[in-house]
């Protein structure tokens, strides 16, 4: 183990084109020792190498599917061996496939719950005891405004899974608050990246910035990364158990 004065952040699904990798980059710029985990092995290593070249210090890449309970435990053990513990956890892994309820394949339902909800549980289950040993920490779970919406555009499985993430956040915060650990969630609206074109129909994006957003644009992964960084920091020391919407006014909540 190498000791480091920096805080250690563990980010899931951190090597894609969207929110996860923006959070990794933001935390790297904030001097965290970042552990980049992602189901995509090559991109995971490539991002760690890019950050190493940029900041001239080590970043740990761990290929990881969050649905693998034992795999998550192994990953957390690797991080403890690397830097002695975890100070910040970001559960960003999510998956969805749009199907109406009455046509939904059982596989779609199970996979969505497995990645979005069980994956978040798996990481909390293995990281929180490490944070307790360390004497504190902070968690951000990425939920979605789909948890609050009444529209059909995200599908029941995704909405139910993300609502589960919000409830999990609230109760986890109550359970571990006495250990100096805060647990919050973020519920983004549309945060554009090109991969979304494969998931949502074209109509979903048409006029979104002009008609639905109240700030004249769609969201950027960096918008969510900035809020994540704040919630993880000591400046958010009085905030726990909350889910913060970030949707450009599409679905204000509270």
Give dist(CA 98, CA 60) in Å, integer. 34
User: Residues 4, 6, 17, 71: which binds ligand NAD (CB under 6 A)?
Assistant: 17
3-state SS, residue 95: coil
Question: Which range in 24-32, 37-45, 72-80, 173-181 contacts ligand NAD by CB under 6 A?
Answer: 37-45
Strand segments, DSSP code E, in the chain are 8-11, 33-38, 60-63, 88-91, 137-142, 181-188, 243-246
Residues 102-131 that bind ligand NAD (CB under 6 A): 115, 119
- Do strands 243-246 and 8-11 pair parallel, antiparallel, or not at all (unpaired)? unpaired
Question: Which range in 3-11, 32-40, 124-132, 225-233 contacts ligand NAD by CB under 6 A?
Answer: 32-40
Is residue 92 within the footprint of ligand NAD (CB under 6 A)?
Answer: yes
Is residue 67 within the footprint of ligand NAD (CB under 6 A)?
Answer: yes
Phi, psi of 245 (to 5 degrees): -75, 145
Residues 141-180 that bind ligand NAD (CB under 6 A): 142, 144
Is residue 38 within the footprint of ligand NAD (CB under 6 A)?
Answer: yes
- Which residue, 4 or 99, is less far from ligand NAD as judged by CB? 99
Q: Using the structure block, give the residue that is written with the tokens 């644009």.
A: 217
Decide: 131 and 183 in contact? Cβ < 8 Å.
Answer: no
Q: Confirm whether 158 is a catalytic residue.
A: yes
- Please identify which of the residues 32, 158, 208, 244 carries the catalytic annotation: 158
């Amino acid at each position: 183990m190498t000791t480091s004065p920096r805080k250690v952040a563990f980010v899931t699904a951190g090597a894609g084109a969207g929110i996860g990798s923006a959070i990794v980059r933001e935390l790297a710029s904030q001097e965290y020792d970042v552990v980049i985990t992602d189901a995509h092995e090559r991109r995971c290593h490539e991002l760690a190498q890019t950050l190493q070249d940029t900041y001239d210090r080590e970043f740990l890449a761990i290929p990881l599917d969050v649905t693998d309970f034992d795999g998550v435990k192994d990953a957390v053990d690797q991080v403890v061996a690397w830097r002695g513990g975890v100070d910040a956890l970001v559960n960003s892994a999510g998956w969805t496939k749009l199907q109406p309820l009455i046509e939904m394949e059982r596989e779609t339902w199970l996979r969505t719950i497995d990645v979005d909800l069980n994956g978040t549980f798996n990481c909390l289950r293995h990281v929180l005891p490490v944070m307790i040993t360390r004497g504190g920490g902070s968690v951000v779970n990425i939920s979605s405004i789909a948890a609050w919406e009444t529209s059909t555009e995200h599908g029941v499985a995704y909405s139910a899974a993300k609502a589960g993430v919000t409830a999990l956040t609230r109760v986890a915060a109550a359970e571990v608050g006495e250990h100096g650990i805060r647990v919050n969630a973020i519920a983004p609206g549309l945060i554009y990246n090109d991969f979304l074109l494969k998931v949502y129909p074209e109509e979903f994006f048409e006029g979104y910035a002009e008609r639905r957003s109240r700030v004249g644009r769609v969201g950027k992964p960096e918008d969510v990364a900035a809020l994540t960084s704040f919630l993880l920091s000591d400046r958010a020391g009085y905030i726990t158990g909350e889910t913060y919407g970030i949707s450009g006014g599409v679905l204000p909540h509270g």
